[in-house]
Structure 1
């Protein structure tokens, strides 16, 4: 091979050179060619690494990373490569000090920085030392930390190649890092600088407490925290570095105001060049010249929703409020747009010209749905109503919303109570909500029959077979989704009547009906579709326990294999028929079921088979879910009787009113889950139609597989039917979706400048406890089981389930859980309601619970106090 295959000058590189020289070198070449100040240097290419590494790694295939790294450090380097490196090094000057840094092909990417995963060697002097440092960089690709990071990011170990950057050292008087957005709060209008005298390694490695400055877009330093800067990293004569005591002291800034302004301006220019916030390493030499030694995207920032006009905007993550931490497929988001368009028109009187495009307030980012609530924040009614709604759904979002009320940028623009009252009255009258609530209060059985008749119509629509051309089926999808919202006002008033009665009873009873007693009243509610589903699954498990072949299959075979056998009708008869009967009734459900792109249980029953296997491990009859449910119903009756007796002691007339309200509340409140069930049935029908369309597009060569249709939106499907090939779009969307699946943190509330308000004052532990919102009273101490995805989850009976969120797809796990901790949710969110019904203690809205609790830790959960002690 020619020398050029092994070594290339930085000035000959740009962003497109990543496969050849890795992310760091490609970015440096891009900066050089854009005219930014970058120290001269060259890159040892991935071809050089491959020449040495391929044979070495083949010889140690399957061994531990340490052996692979050792083999690379000791490997012989071909003469062609050593000659190329020596020649390029000589071109920088005679024995010039250089920095030798790793540059991997999976590094400094928009979705994964790989910061610090491979090694860097500073102040390397002499060609032999440079060659040794190159070998050590190659070996650092196989350290434990680098291997672990790649596994976390889902990147194959042999899919990554390493180049090496060799650059002239900057005689740094002061150096550090600069972020063109605040990496903690996400604010895009602030620059964050960490600086310390000497080489930047002191800051990057964490060896020193640097000066920390935050500068706003106007150039004003809004925060200046001077570090002790106790040590400096300085180059040694002849090569290497040393740490020496600092001389400036903690009370003196190592940057002048002019240098700060120059760094901020330079950072903004780099950000403008790349079009995204950047993490920059810099150094200022003895002559005062700033140099850039690295720039990469800030990968931890959540993407921003599409810009909205009108200054600062406030977005609430709607999918997170519904309990979804995972991203939603593009088709799922497209379906939400149609549903939101109907809601906008019917509930708020704001017509949407194109339902497929959705209402203006609907925004997406990072595969999540956001709602622009700025208009609500600017009205007194919105300030009063929105947080109360969020209190029910997602308490932490409500707290964040309230924290914005004093922001002068979001001041109330005009009083609106009368206008809001007129609009609300119009909506309530249009859907006959007051009349429905009144009928439900008077005749609960009649109200339930009305809800069931609506369900019959929904089930009939959902069961209809796709017919007509693909274009006609697509039209039908839009119509069906458009009918999803109008179903809600016909169903929810009955459940709302139950909640109204409970609130009235609590007001009448006062202290005689506290939170714990109210939780008991809501245990084991009748007419709850989700509870009935879970108990049917338990009944099936109990039946299968008595069938030797079925029990053995569940006990000894992986759920994925059982699902394959089910599709082939090859399971033991009792399991095959029992599962088929369950799926006939509940097969429209799924984990993350409001996402139209998620497979239904009828398509993939792996999760249900795993739950059945879990149920077979429950041997204590007293802990059997049906027994627990029966005890809960008795406990509810006892709680009502006790509360009525307490009230009677002080008011003879209030006691019968409280009894009436509580009993009626139990007869109606269980219907709360019904609207979601009907909505999911319609979404499932739309999914069936789209799957058929996906099959046709695949047969025409416009998609690679039928399921790819869910990585398009409705408008793109229409263009595909007209002949547009979207296969490349699907590949890109799937890659983005997979990356977002790995995102552990999603902002509840996001401002248009990128600020995540909750990050400004993130809640923490109080007196050794994690604090959340009380959801279901009771105290339990048991081992924790952290579950991020319920599919295939193993939960021992009595363990405390720790989850980011839950929806009905999770609730079969509740039957054997001893308690529940959730990162999301409010006291009336789905998980909280079902936990109360099952009588298991629960705390919701516990910040970062899945990170701060680990499986196996003993946890004490107090559902009444809202605390979790580890």
Structure 2
């Protein structure tokens, strides 16, 4: 090795050099190269700081103290000493700061703040070498070992370098957060400042001046406006000051320093792309940056929902009930949005960027929002395009469209591929083909929804004139869709179970997971019928169509068997009058239509007929867009199997934490050791970040408080008219389908079309999410049972067996 292997100038280091220089030095070098004011210095590299007789690896053992003492007392090799002395002389000698820079430090998932040692005002070569030796040994302090163990950091990755920088004669120093680390507010810069060195602030030895800058504010308060935000001051509980109102104290950080620090902090945040925790010093009219690290364990940005967000939140929570994974966004949702972006221009609106809908960091979704679509210049021609589409495309013939046949053919061809024999590029090609097929199906909506949408708008306008808007939902029921076809096929299977005492006994005595084994011995022909059902409808999603990470019915036959358990427990209720027929008779009985000319009633029936096609086109395109999902998931499983074999992943389930573009970086098989390590780190980091979000709602739902003394337990949105009562049955997911009994009130956090067969047994439906246009509301209207949507918290406020009355007319849940 040469001397350059042991010491590197700080300005030659970038954030890609963590293994060489550690996290602290890598970030500082990145700042210097980007032009930020950082004191000059050099790095004693991790290679120079290897402990003796360890083969370059640290020992996280129970005897940390003994090993640490051995490292501290060991002589620094002569070549390293010479390199450090030469670099110190070149720096100009004098007082320096000597800081540890661990290779597992200042990372997005773990800051390791304060876990290793720092020495200030070190003067002379002898003391400098002693400080380097002590920094090296501090990698094995008990607190550092415990921290790595608690954060799941591989001890074999733990190494340490040392940063040596010229000391700054600080007049003031401290820390600055580019967000509020307590509330998570990203529009705030929080500064803690104290006269002298900032180490006392970091160590908590002093009560600093606390400065809060709201960077959204443009008003100026005296001379204390900072970085475009407002700076104010007040006394702080427990001593010191908190600058949030009034003038700064006489001993406080000068206003110019606040302004410059806020500007620099925001620039650092933009450079690194995430909130930062910055150590700084103010000396001679200049802000010096001493360290920056990502803010870890940061709460989510507080959201103050506007009217649009409050209205759309229940629908969003139903559409995306599960937090998407990186693979969902990059292999399914993202490609679908991009593929549909061009054909959707004819509507005159641009789809919002994906990162405004799925908000988070590092492909880990923290929350889902509904940004208002932006109009584009295509809005000028949109009416003409939509009217043209309405004139050319009759929704009654949409199922015979050649584009639909082509999409089905492509899905069949994809399904017939033997993925085990596919090369790596061929597997990725399957993942790319899936969204193309789905987009081809969904593009049919742009052809056939305009005419039926115009009819729907006309029908709604007519109902408003007649003051009968409440009839709209019922008028649109009874439409033949692929979902209703699948539900009828499921009912046929349930009828076969009820008709066979042996089958009925098997379903009553065994769980859904046990049934396949039982039926293969006792009723193979019935099991074949279930397989035929799955061949036709198995592409149906169990949770939501937006997530490729969630299983389909084909992969979860226990979901279907659980539904059959519920459906076969009792005969279905008698069919009542068709809600649509009743609603149509009521509509036509209005004096304006009843007494008007026959041609008016004929026109209304025609309008109603066109409007009813809206639901079929919408529902069927959703149903058919899922055709490639089982094959895509099979390709992901095969991809995961190979990555586990190549030691990229610990288990196949971790594939969901990677992005599709990262999988595409594997050009040749097997991946290189460096790429394997990088992909493992990505998956581990995102898995840990997702785990930290476990208690954070994806779409916050406040719910409406109940009225005291009125017997009202919950308020929500009316989904289906009528009043019914019964005992509550809470079903959290598809695993609980078999628990529902006839006459119970189904209470769920969300529903998808996969849930709708249960509605034939339920007395009523109450859902945390959704709205009048959701599948749950539509299905409830089809079956003529009351439904209350968007309660926000029904699954936590109600309990199994509690008797309630569901008022679907007014959106109320009351004590029975």
TM-score (normalised: structure 1): 0.57
Matched, 1:800 2:790: no
Q: Partner of 1:290 in structure 2?
A: 287
Q: Partner of 2:268 in structure 1?
A: 270
Q: Partner of 2:555 in structure 1?
A: 605
1:590 and 1:600 in contact (8 A); partners too: yes
Distance in 1 (CA, whole Å) between partners of 2:521 and 2:701 is 51
Distance in 2 (CA, whole Å) between partners of 1:79 and 1:328 is 49
Distance in 2 (CA, whole Å) between partners of 1:558 and 1:169 is 71
Q: Partner of 1:260 in structure 2?
A: 258
In the TM superposition, what is the alpha-carbon distance from 1:263 to its structure 2 partner?
1.0
In the TM superposition, what is the alpha-carbon distance from 1:344 to its structure 2 partner?
4.0
Distance in 2 (CA, whole Å) between partners of 1:827 and 1:576 is 37
Instruction: Evaluate the alpha carbon distance shift between residue 651 and residue 579 of structure 1 in structure 2; reply closer, same or farther with a 3 A threshold.
Output: closer
2:789 and 2:811 in contact (8 A); partners too: yes
In the TM superposition, what is the alpha-carbon distance from 1:81 to its structure 2 partner?
1.7
| SS in structure 2 at match of 1:108 | coil
Q: Partner of 2:307 in structure 1?
A: none
Alignment of 1:741-820 (within 5 A): 775-776=719-720, 797=740, 798=745, 800-803=747-750, 807-808=752-753, 819=765
Instruction: Evaluate the alpha carbon distance shift between residue 293 and residue 711 of structure 1 in structure 2; reply closer, same or farther with a 3 A threshold.
Output: closer
In the TM superposition, what is the alpha-carbon distance from 1:138 to its structure 2 partner?
2.0
| SS in structure 2 at match of 1:281 | strand
| SS in structure 2 at match of 1:192 | strand
Q: Partner of 2:507 in structure 1?
A: 551
Q: Partner of 2:228 in structure 1?
A: 221
| SS in structure 2 at match of 1:296 | strand
Matched, 1:579 2:530: yes
In the TM superposition, what is the alpha-carbon distance from 1:580 to its structure 2 partner?
0.9
1:323 is matched with which residue: 314, 319, 323?
Answer: 319
1:426 is matched with which residue: 383, 388, 401?
Answer: 388
Instruction: Evaluate the alpha carbon distance shift between residue 164 and residue 585 of structure 1 in structure 2; reply closer, same or farther with a 3 A threshold.
Output: same
Instruction: Evaluate the alpha carbon distance shift between residue 8 and residue 47 of structure 1 in structure 2; reply closer, same or farther with a 3 A threshold.
Output: farther
Alignment of 1:172-251 (within 5 A): 173=172, 175-179=174-178, 192-197=189-194, 210-215=210-215, 221-226=228-233, 228-231=235-238, 246=241, 251=246
Q: Partner of 1:672 in structure 2?
A: 615
1:841 is matched with which residue: 752, 771, 787?
Answer: 787
2:67 and 2:140 in contact (8 A); partners too: no
Q: Partner of 1:341 in structure 2?
A: 342
Distance in 2 (CA, whole Å) between partners of 1:835 and 1:170 is 73
Instruction: Evaluate the alpha carbon distance shift between residue 669 and residue 733 of structure 1 in structure 2; reply closer, same or farther with a 3 A threshold.
Output: farther
In the TM superposition, what is the alpha-carbon distance from 1:711 to its structure 2 partner?
7.1
| SS in structure 1 at match of 2:67 | coil
1:10 and 1:25 in contact (8 A); partners too: yes
In the TM superposition, what is the alpha-carbon distance from 1:194 to its structure 2 partner?
3.6
In the TM superposition, what is the alpha-carbon distance from 1:801 to its structure 2 partner?
2.3
In the TM superposition, what is the alpha-carbon distance from 1:584 to its structure 2 partner?
2.4
Q: Partner of 1:503 in structure 2?
A: 460
2:72 is matched with which residue: 82, 86, 90?
Answer: 82
1:25 and 1:43 in contact (8 A); partners too: no
Matched, 1:828 2:779: no
Distance in 2 (CA, whole Å) between partners of 1:508 and 1:711 is 52
1:401 is matched with which residue: 372, 376, 380?
Answer: 372
In the TM superposition, what is the alpha-carbon distance from 1:258 to its structure 2 partner?
0.9
Distance in 1 (CA, whole Å) between partners of 2:724 and 2:260 is 57
Matched, 1:141 2:147: yes
Alignment of 1:486-525 (within 5 A): 487-488=444-445, 491-492=448-449, 496=453, 499-500=456-457, 503-504=460-461, 506-510=463-467, 513=468, 515=470, 521=474, 525=478
Distance in 1 (CA, whole Å) between partners of 2:266 and 2:281 is 17
Distance in 2 (CA, whole Å) between partners of 1:674 and 1:734 is 43
Instruction: Evaluate the alpha carbon distance shift between residue 260 and residue 248 of structure 1 in structure 2; reply closer, same or farther with a 3 A threshold.
Output: closer
Matched, 1:18 2:18: yes
1:807 and 1:831 in contact (8 A); partners too: yes
1:282 and 1:292 in contact (8 A); partners too: yes
In the TM superposition, what is the alpha-carbon distance from 1:477 to its structure 2 partner?
8.5
Q: Partner of 2:278 in structure 1?
A: 281
Cα deviation digits, residues 607-644 of structure 1 (max 9, x gap): x42353366368974xx8x43x946x667767777888
Moved more, 32-41 or 131-140: 32-41
Distance in 1 (CA, whole Å) between partners of 2:726 and 2:22 is 50
Cα deviation digits, residues 348-381 of structure 1 (max 9, x gap): 7xxxxxxxxxx996855499699xxxxxxxxxxx
Distance in 2 (CA, whole Å) between partners of 1:556 and 1:579 is 13
Q: Which has the higher contact order (CA 8 A, sep 6+)?
A: 1
Q: Partner of 2:104 in structure 1?
A: 105
Matched, 1:616 2:575: no
Q: How many residues align?
A: 704
Distance in 2 (CA, whole Å) between partners of 1:83 and 1:813 is 72
Distance in 2 (CA, whole Å) between partners of 1:133 and 1:693 is 40
| SS in structure 1 at match of 2:71 | helix
Distance in 1 (CA, whole Å) between partners of 2:520 and 2:638 is 23
Distance in 1 (CA, whole Å) between partners of 2:781 and 2:207 is 50
In the TM superposition, what is the alpha-carbon distance from 1:230 to its structure 2 partner?
2.9
Distance in 1 (CA, whole Å) between partners of 2:616 and 2:597 is 29
Instruction: Evaluate the alpha carbon distance shift between residue 97 and residue 482 of structure 1 in structure 2; reply closer, same or farther with a 3 A threshold.
Output: closer
1:36 and 1:292 in contact (8 A); partners too: yes
1:192 and 1:214 in contact (8 A); partners too: yes
Alignment of 1:367-378 (within 5 A): none
Q: Which runs of 5+ in 1 are unaligned?
A: 58-70, 151-155, 232-243, 304-315, 349-358, 371-394, 403-409, 437-446, 747-757
1:528 and 1:671 in contact (8 A); partners too: no
Cα deviation digits, residues 806-856 of structure 1 (max 9, x gap): 654565677788755456x6532445434554646343496xx79999999
2:540 is matched with which residue: 589, 606, 612?
Answer: 589
Distance in 2 (CA, whole Å) between partners of 1:208 and 1:868 is 52
Larger radius of gyration: 2
Instruction: Evaluate the alpha carbon distance shift between residue 329 and residue 283 of structure 1 in structure 2; reply closer, same or farther with a 3 A threshold.
Output: closer
1:786 and 1:850 in contact (8 A); partners too: no
Distance in 2 (CA, whole Å) between partners of 1:85 and 1:225 is 53
Q: Partner of 1:241 in structure 2?
A: none
Instruction: Evaluate the alpha carbon distance shift between residue 292 and residue 158 of structure 1 in structure 2; reply closer, same or farther with a 3 A threshold.
Output: same
TM-score (normalised: structure 2): 0.60
1:44 and 1:85 in contact (8 A); partners too: no
In the TM superposition, what is the alpha-carbon distance from 1:196 to its structure 2 partner?
4.9
